[in-house]
């Protein structure tokens, strides 16, 4: 059963939290924070790719400058969009986390660097929707010589810019290598 609760933080007291824990002891809880005046509008798939398209590749070699336009734009959006960006990015990285996509990364001894494979998946997403979809459907096109780990930090930087606080953003799905059990043919 899914329950949606909409309330003000000031209305949450210890009693409320205890009742919530008792009623949903074994459930996962997802909290979306909306600041006053923000709409609950969702970040669309198109909106996600528009943010990705803001990466400034004219500054290749200076990751901070590459990220800057996307970070600035995302920081101006509702806070909920930052959380949704994290989830959408994680889901795309998860989709690319397959045995077929990883085959091009195996070294001569059959070893796969899980970090390098993750950062290469980041590069695929960072290169936009067309590249992502092409490689998603054609694993043999997975690049072996391009990585872009900084994409993992884009939302953190936007959150920090917007709130002045360090981000603690956890996606709803793991993007770590081998997380997509079906993609790796694990039971």
Query: pLDDT tens, 111-161?
Result: 899 999 999 999 999 999 999 999 999 999 999 889 999 999 999 999 999
pLDDT over 80 (residue 47): yes
Chain mean pLDDT for the chain: 90
Whether 162 and 83 have beta carbons less than 8 Å apart is answered as no
Whether 67 and 76 have beta carbons less than 8 Å apart is answered as no
pLDDT digits (tens, 9 = 90+) for 61-78: 999 999 999 999 999 999
Burial category of 55 from C-beta neighbours within 10 Å (exposed 0-12, middle 13-18, buried 19 and up): buried
Whether 122 and 148 have beta carbons less than 8 Å apart is answered as yes
What tokens does 123 get? 């590069």
Whether 52 and 126 have beta carbons less than 8 Å apart is answered as yes
Which of these, 148, 60, 61, lies nearest to 96 by C-alpha position? 148
What tokens does 10 get? 């000031």
Q: What residues have CB less than 8 Å from 167, skipping those under 6 apart? A: 155, 156, 159, 160
């Amino acid at each position: 059963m899914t329950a949606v609760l909409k309330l003000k933080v000031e209305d949450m007291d210890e009693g409320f939290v205890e009742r919530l824990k008792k009623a949903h002891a074994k459930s996962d809880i997802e909290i979306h924070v909306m600041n006053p005046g923000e709409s609950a509008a969702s970040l669309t798939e198109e909106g996600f790719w528009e943010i990705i398209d803001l990466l400034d590749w004219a500054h290749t070699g200076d990751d901070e400058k590459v990220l800057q336009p996307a970070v600035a734009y995302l920081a101006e959006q509702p806070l909920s969009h930052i959380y949704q960006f994290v989830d959408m990015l994680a889901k795309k990285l998860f989709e690319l986390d397959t045995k077929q996509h990883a085959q091009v990364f195996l070294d001569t001894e059959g070893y796969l660097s899980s970090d390098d494979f993750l950062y290469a998946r980041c590069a695929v997403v960072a290169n936009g929707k067309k590249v992502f979809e092409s490689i998603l459907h054609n694993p043999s096109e997975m690049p072996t010589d391009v990585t872009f780990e900084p994409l993992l930090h884009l939302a953190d930087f936007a959150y920090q810019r917007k709130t002045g606080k360090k981000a603690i953003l956890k996606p709803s799905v793991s993007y770590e290598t081998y997380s997509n059990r079906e993609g790796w043919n694990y039971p």
